[in-house]
Structure 1
């Protein structure tokens, strides 16, 4: 399986982990954790980009709590139909990109977004596309947040991510996000363990 295979799986995703699935469950504890982080570090008019926004449950939660300048990247076209039905204000007011992260991130200017975040999205990025991490550091002017499943394995210094296939279906790559983004010049200012994910907050050198 290469990076094209991975993105095709998510582009056509239905049922579990689809846009409809996430819209059904709506904002959750992760949504609230992100809100608290952004309220600590950002102004309400800060530009915020979500990677793999699906139907927008996390962005909608930010919008309801006063954040005004929201954007998202999503590869599954069904997500925006679900968003328009479930979160119509967000769909109308946000800036959205129907594309794979790899195909749009190079179009952004340096420091274009005050904050960039992902929730269980970068963990599915194929090793062939790890150059994206450099781009994420480049387009972030202040805050980068990862909410990803890091696994509980000993990486023993290996730079290759361990991989697990969820339901024998799509790959989940366990990565050391602290090392990935501190190696790219960001500073980790907070890390906390969630139920299955680690929430890491990085800031750019100011």
Structure 2
């Protein structure tokens, strides 16, 4: 009977990371989570009502009929050893009290932005900056929305130079996945500055 190391590899236990998907009302958070999730995403959406009309600004998203009232949840496996759990935050100000709960244990966040309503992204950017949570800004390129250079969007949002910014289509799995990969890499660089060189 031969002795020595077995050639059979043990299954790798994947590392699970928590990522938030944040941004203003109607920016595409639910769409992004649904586009990439390998499980049926959990959604807590309710139909927009007349009672909410005075507080839910639907300018620029007139076709929107539902809204997230707690969170969206999904999961994506990036590699055999890396799984992301995605938590989409509610966009309306009256539900912001949930953000602190959702942010606990998060590695980082993707802040979705809409150039038609860029001011709606300020609250999310400010939230993650104040708490030191690494984040990436992904400009969701809506059909018919004016395109602006990344440098102009960066200046308008007053982003720190180290914050990654990219264009994306939240409906497209590959595009949305790139935004998630970007925030994981950005967060790991913050934890371990040598990560960039090790992964290059």
TM-score range relative to shorter protein: 0.3 to 0.5
Higher relative contact order (CA 8 A, sep 6+): 2
Q: From the two aligned structures, give the one with the greater helix fraction.
A: 1
TM-score, normalization: structure 1?
0.37
Kindly name which structure, 1 or 2, has the bigger radius of gyration based on alpha carbons: 2
Normalising by structure 2, what TM-score?
0.38
